[in-house]
């Protein structure tokens, strides 16, 4: 089936489908974009044609990206505008024998997110994900045990709320009792944690590769970044700032929803690497893993 069209406002199913197919999130589908300057009959100079340059000068970045370059412009108010599907989504696979980290956020009303991470040199590879609604910790553990990477699970991090009882045993207690896995936890400052993840989304100046990549299987967190539809209902449900009618950001913290995979990553990054800067400390805390 061949589909063609333009990204009107980068909302709805079409730009979502394009982004998912172009990133490799859907292995049996492909998407390609043709910028206007590939039509050399209308623009003989290609990308440097005078008319193209005039349009770039006269248009907003979003308009030029959508209408001329043929790329979806990120939805308004995204928290993580640094995430790029073409750079941060990669077909990383599980490497047997390498330690596996489980970073999780047991979202009670949204999603129980478990991000599965392996460290490879200077790069973090999110090789898999458990992202479910309506399942309790016992169910999530059963899912985890069925995955091929389970024998190499050595470390775990969870939201501080996972240590608390909510009319049932605390998730940390259930994980420890059923699997023997101790889950580290600490209270995270949301904006500082967000900045930590944004820093990891940058390209490593030494390797010229992204410092963190996600498998296309990680549908939940990719949807939170705004680069795929929500896996539960197919709608656009990205982690966003609160905005007014004109699209201006209001408030000092993002809306606390559609962020369970993101928060799981933040908990893991801060637990292992700290916040990335020194704040009223005489010494730098370093966590070492054996």
For 100-118, write each residue's pLDDT tens digit.
999 999 987 789 999 999 9
For 268-282, write each residue's pLDDT tens digit.
999 998 886 544 444
CA distance 124 to 135: 27
Element (H, E) at 260: helix 260-273
pLDDT at 283: 43
CA distance 245 to 230: 23
Nearest to 163 by CA among 191, 131, 180, 185: 185
pLDDT at 247: 67
Residues in the chain: 290
Task: Name the average pLDDT for the chain.
Answer: 85
For 234-289, write each residue's pLDDT tens digit.
888 899 988 777 667 788 888 889 999 999 999 999 999 888 654 444 444 445 55
Residue 5 to residues 31, 105, 149, 175, Cα–Cα distance (Å): 12, 38, 40, 48
pLDDT at 278: 40
pLDDT at 162: 84
* Res. 13 pLDDT band, cuts 50 70 90: low
Assigned fold of 100-273: Nucleotidyltransferase; domain 5 (3.30.420)
Inter-residue contact 113 to 158 (CB < 8 Å): no
Per cent of the chain over pLDDT 70 is 85
For 170-184, write each residue's pLDDT tens digit.
999 999 999 999 999
Write down the domain spans for the chain: 13-73, 100-273
pLDDT at 169: 83
């Amino acid at each position: 089936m061949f589909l063609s069209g333009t990204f009107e406002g980068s909302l709805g199913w079409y730009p979502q489908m394009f982004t998912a197919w172009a990133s490799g999130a859907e292995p049996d589908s492909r998407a390609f974009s043709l910028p206007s300057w590939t039509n050399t009959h209308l623009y003989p100079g290609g990308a440097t044609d005078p008319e193209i340059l005039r349009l770039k000068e006269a248009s907003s970045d979003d308009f030029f990206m959508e209408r001329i370059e043929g790329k979806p412009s990120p939805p308004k108010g995204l928290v993580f505008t640094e995430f790029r599907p073409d750079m941060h989504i990669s077909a990383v696979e599980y490497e047997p024998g390498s330690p596996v980290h489980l970073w999780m956020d047991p979202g009670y009303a949204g999603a129980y997110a478990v991000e599965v991470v392996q460290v490879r040199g200077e790069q973090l590879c999110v090789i898999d994900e458990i992202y479910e609604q309506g399942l309790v910790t016992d169910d999530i553990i059963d899912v985890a045990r069925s995955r091929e990477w389970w024998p190499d699970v050595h470390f775990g991090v969870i939201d501080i709320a996972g240590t608390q009882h909510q009319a049932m045993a605390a998730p940390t207690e259930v994980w420890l009792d059923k699997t023997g896995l101790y889950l580290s936890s600490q209270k995270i400052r949301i904006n500082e944690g967000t900045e930590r993840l944004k820093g990891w989304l940058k390209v490593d100046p030494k390797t010229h590769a992204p410092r963190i990549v996600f498998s296309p299987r990680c549908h939940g967190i990719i949807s939170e970044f705004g680069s795929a539809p929500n896996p539960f209902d197919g709608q656009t449900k990205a982690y966003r700032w609160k905005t007014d009618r004109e699209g201006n950001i209001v408030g000092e913290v993002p809306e606390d929803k559609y962020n369970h995979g993101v928060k799981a990553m933040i908990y893991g990054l801060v637990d292992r690497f700290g916040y990335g800067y020194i704040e009223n400390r005489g010494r730098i805390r370093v966590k070492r893993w054996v």
